[in-house]
Each structure stands twice: as C-alpha cells, then as structure tokens.
Amino acid sequence: MKFKETKVYTVLFTFIVTFVFVFVLAYANHLTKDQVARNQELFTITALLDAMQLDYTNNDQAYEIFKNQIVVYNITNDSYTNINLYSLGQGQDKIFSYIFTGDALWGSITGVLCVDPNVEKSIGLSFIDQNETPGLGGRITEPWFLDQFAGEQLPKTGESGEVLRQIMVLPGRTDRLGDTNKLNSEVDG
C-alpha cells in the first residue's frame, strides 16, 4: 500500500492545506485591518453626511466635514447607555442625527435618521449596513427609496415617538431639543 493511499496521508494533507490557507487569510487580515477600520469609519461618516443632506465630493472631504462641522454627544440616561447623538449647525438651525439598529427579514439593518431641532420632521435617512437580499429589500439604499423620507412628520405619540424623544433628550431634560442654548450648556457642563 502506498503512503498516498493511507488515511494518515489524507489527514496530514488536509491539515497542511488548511493550515496554509488559514495562515494566508490571517496574514491578509492583519495587513488590511487598519484600512478596513478606516473604511468602516468612512462609511459611517458618509451615511451621517447623507442623512444630514450635506454634499461632499470624496472621502477625504467627507472626513473633513465630519471633523470640523459635526459635534458628537455621548448620551447616557436611565434608559440608554452610550448613545451617540450627532449635531450640525448653530442655534435654531441645529439638526440632529442618531444611528439606529433594528431587525429586518434576513438580518439587522443599521441606519442614520436625521431630524429637525424640534424632533418633529425627518431631514434625511441613510443606511450604514443592511443584510437584505438583492431584490426589493436590498434597494433600501437607493436614492429613490431614501428621498421619500425627507420632510416626513415624526410620530408625536405612541411607543415609536416616545422612544425617539427619549433618545434625543439629554438626562434631566423634560422638554424637546429646540432650546439649543440649554442643550449646549447641559452638554458642556
């Protein structure tokens, strides 16, 4: 019996081939992890800018706009921990964005909702990650679908309206976010 025909050869060959491929993939992952992290960050930033209806021509410009114009508030209250609220603008022109995640048919969807200072109308909607099939579900990232949500009235009552307002309200706040001076003083301490 030849060695190539034994079970030991089959197991040894399988082990070596598997080890080589896993090593190559692990090494490629190690070499590209910084670029992958930057790409994920840029994808989140561009989704935020898209929801806020801000124009940019390339990823570098998107990163600069985010760095120079967007303020990030980390919100922690009784119901939520470490929620990031993103704002753009000054005074009564300030708009807010929130990154949300929810269940869909085939997986989860992560998106950005941008609202007006009074948390009454949507400014825009964008998606960061979705796992839907390429049919209708996969088309949620296309402009024709996203554009229909700009300017929509947000729910004022009911669970969805209350959840949105709880997320958008800072600890100790009982009114809405329209008073941006009070908002800024609470965030700044």
Q: How far is it, in rounded angstroms, from Cα 26 to Cα 20?
A: 10
Q: What is the pLDDT of residues 35-82, one digit of tens each?
A: 999 999 999 999 999 999 899 999 999 999 999 988 888 877 666 667
Q: What is the pLDDT of residues 113-139, one digit of tens each?
A: 998 877 788 889 998 988 877 776 778
More confident residue, 103 or 64: 64
Q: How far is it, in rounded angstroms, from Cα 103 to Cα 148?
A: 21
DSSP labels, 128-151 = EEE---TTTGGGGGSHHHHGGGTT
Residue 188: the pLDDT is 40
Residue 170: the pLDDT is 39
Mean pLDDT (the chain) is: 79
Q: What is the DSSP letter of 154?
A: P
* Sole residue written with tokens 């909607």: 125
Nearest to 178 by CA among 128, 98, 120: 120
